[in-house]
Structures are given as C-alpha cells and as structure tokens.
C-alpha cells in the first residue's frame, strides 16, 4: 500500500516539532509495511511552496493533484493542537486518494509530548490494517512471504518398485554320447502361486480411519474458527497495548497452524478409509503416506482385486 503524508496542521506547536511529528508519523506507517511518501519527499517532488499549500488538505482538487503526481492509494494527514500546558489534541485521518472519502480517523487527547508519539504509533497500525481492507493490500509489519496454505492434495497412486527375480543359475549338463540314445527330458516342476489368504477383509476396518478423519476435520474447523475470531479481534480498531496485540496475533497464528494440521490429517484419513472400503476383500494393497513441509500425500502400492 502506498501512502502520502503531506504534513500536519498545528496549533501552538513550534515548527521544529511540527516537522518532527510529520516525519515520525511517516516512519511509523513505513514500519507497519506501507510505502510512504513523506512531507520532505513531497517538498522535493512538488516544490516547498506547493507542499505547504497541500499540508492538512482534505479538498478534492489537492487530492486529485497528489493522486496524479504520486499514484498513492491514500493520504494521511491531521492536526496537533496544544490545549493548555502539556495537554495536546491529536486528530489524524486517512483519505481515499481517488474519492477523497475518509477511510479511517483517529482522535486522542493526551498529556505530554511523548504521548503524541505513542498515539501516532497506534494510529499507524490501525490505518494500515484499514487500508489493507479498503484497497486489497497485504502490507504488514514483518512483510512476510506468504506461505502456501496447506491444502489436501488428491492422492496419486505411486507404483511400488517391482523386484525382479534373478534367474536360477543352472550347472552345465553333460552332453550325451552320440552313440547312446538321448535321455528323456526330465519333467519340469512348477510351483503354483499360492493366493493370498487374508485373515480378515480390509473393508471391515475402513470405519476406523474414517472416524478418526472426521474427528480430525472437526478439530481443524474448530481451530480455524478460533483463528478467524482472533483476526477479527485484532482488526476491530480498539485501543490496546502492543503486548496485548502481539498476544492476540500469536494465539491466532497457533490456532491457524493447528487448523491446517487438523484439516490435512482429517482429509488423509478419510481418503484412506474410503480406499479401504472401495477395494475391500482380499487384496495386497499397501498404503504409503508422504509428509512434506507444505503437503501431505497418500498413495497405494500393490495389486487391485479386479
């Protein structure tokens, strides 16, 4: 997500602090994963005079100018006013760069200049989350590489290696004497192939993996719903400490991983039970399971009964 921070309007705040606050807001938005064009960048691109005119702007003309010049998704601007002593009022807003409509606002009244910086950090996190939803972006603080979701894969039968029997070594037979009649060939003895006589049918045990697969699927759905609830709690825009937000995020990630494992194992067990029920009867099939980092595959090797 690309954001522009043209600057902040201030009341009873010196110019040095004003510049610092605008750059601090831009840095916090950048730390949350957004691509930010700060007020200093705007001064270089648009000129200092025009950048000052756009500072705190919320009208359609200046938003159109910034959009066409920078190609940003949204603008982040606002006001900082000293009320009395060390009491300050902070008003921040994110504006859609195309329509000029407000995407998100953040307002706080604090005591002490340092508190303004803390509230800007919270606002940056909320703005990036809201912007991701609004513009379909995936900016995040860690900028992680999205790992592929573990999807159950259709089991592909793998052919078991066929062991070829080595031919029997035969000792050289003595050559018959030309004067003697050739001896009658000895009868060839063949060992009949004994059919496999299983002690029990495979089909009658098919319910075991299917029942376990149902339990695993239910467990995966339970943790999936829990992870979704944690995500909604994290993105509801409420004020909370960084520690609390990280705890919610870690809990959601753990539940998401458990959901992936439960769904993968459940599908594998259901496929295994279905295959057992399908083939049934006397068979020499052997299940083979392959577990990788992002996949679980199931195959069978042997002879089918038909």
pLDDT at position 90, please?
94
pLDDT at position 155, please?
44
- In this structure, CATH architecture of domain 2-135: 3-Layer(aba) Sandwich (3.40)
Compute how many other C-beta atoms are within 10 angstroms of the C-beta atom of residue 236: 10
- Using the Cα atoms of residue 265, residue 266, residue 272 and residue 273 in order, give the sign of their dihedral: positive
pLDDT at position 51, please?
54
Query: Over the chain (306 residues), what is each successive 10-residue block's mean pLDDT?
Result: 86 86 90 85 61 54 62 88 92 86 92 92 93 88 48 44 46 52 56 49 74 86 89 82 86 89 85 74 58 62 56
pLDDT at position 63, please?
59
Q: How far is CA 214 from CA 169, 223, 264, 265, 272, in A?
A: 54, 14, 11, 10, 12
pLDDT at position 272, please?
82
User: Cα–Cα distance between 84 and 109 in angstroms, integer?
Assistant: 12
pLDDT at position 129, please?
92
pLDDT at position 162, please?
45
């Amino acid at each position: 997500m690309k954001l522009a921070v043209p600057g902040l309007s201030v009341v009873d705040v010196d110019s040095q602090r004003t510049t610092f606050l605008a750059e601090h807001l831009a840095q916090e938005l950048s730390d949350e994963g957004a691509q930010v064009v700060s007020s200093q960048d705007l001064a270089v691109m648009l000129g200092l005079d025009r950048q000052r005119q756009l500072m705190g702007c919320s009208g359609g003309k200046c938003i159109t100018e910034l959009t066409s010049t920078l190609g940003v998704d949204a603008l982040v601007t606002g006001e900082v006013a000293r009320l009395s002593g060390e009491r300050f009022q902070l008003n921040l807003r994110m504006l859609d760069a195309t329509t000029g409509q407000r995407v998100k606002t953040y307002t706080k009244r604090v005591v002490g200049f340092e508190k303004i910086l803390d509230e800007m950090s919270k606002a940056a996190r909320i703005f990036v989350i809201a912007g991701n939803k609004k513009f379909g972006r995936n900016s995040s603080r860690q900028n992680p590489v999205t790992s592929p979701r573990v999807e159950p894969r259709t089991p592909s039968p793998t052919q078991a290696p066929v062991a070829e029997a080595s031919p029997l070594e035969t000792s050289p037979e003595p050559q018959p004497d030309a004067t003697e009649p050739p001896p009658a060939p000895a009868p060839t003895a063949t060992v009949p192939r004994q059919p496999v006589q299983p002690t029990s049918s495979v089909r009658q045990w098919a319910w075991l993996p299917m029942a376990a697969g149902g339990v695993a699927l239910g467990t995966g759905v339970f943790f999936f719903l829990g992870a979704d609830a944690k995500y909604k709690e994290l993105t509801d825009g409420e004020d909370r400490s960084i520690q609390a937000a990280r705890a919610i995020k870690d809990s959601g990630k753990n539940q998401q991983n458990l959901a992936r494992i439960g769904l993968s194992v459940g599908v594998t067990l259901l496929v295994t039970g279905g295959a057992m029920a399908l083939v049934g009867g006397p068979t020499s099939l052997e299940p083979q399971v392959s577990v990788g980092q992002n996949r679980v595959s199931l195959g069978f090797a042997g002879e089918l009964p038909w």
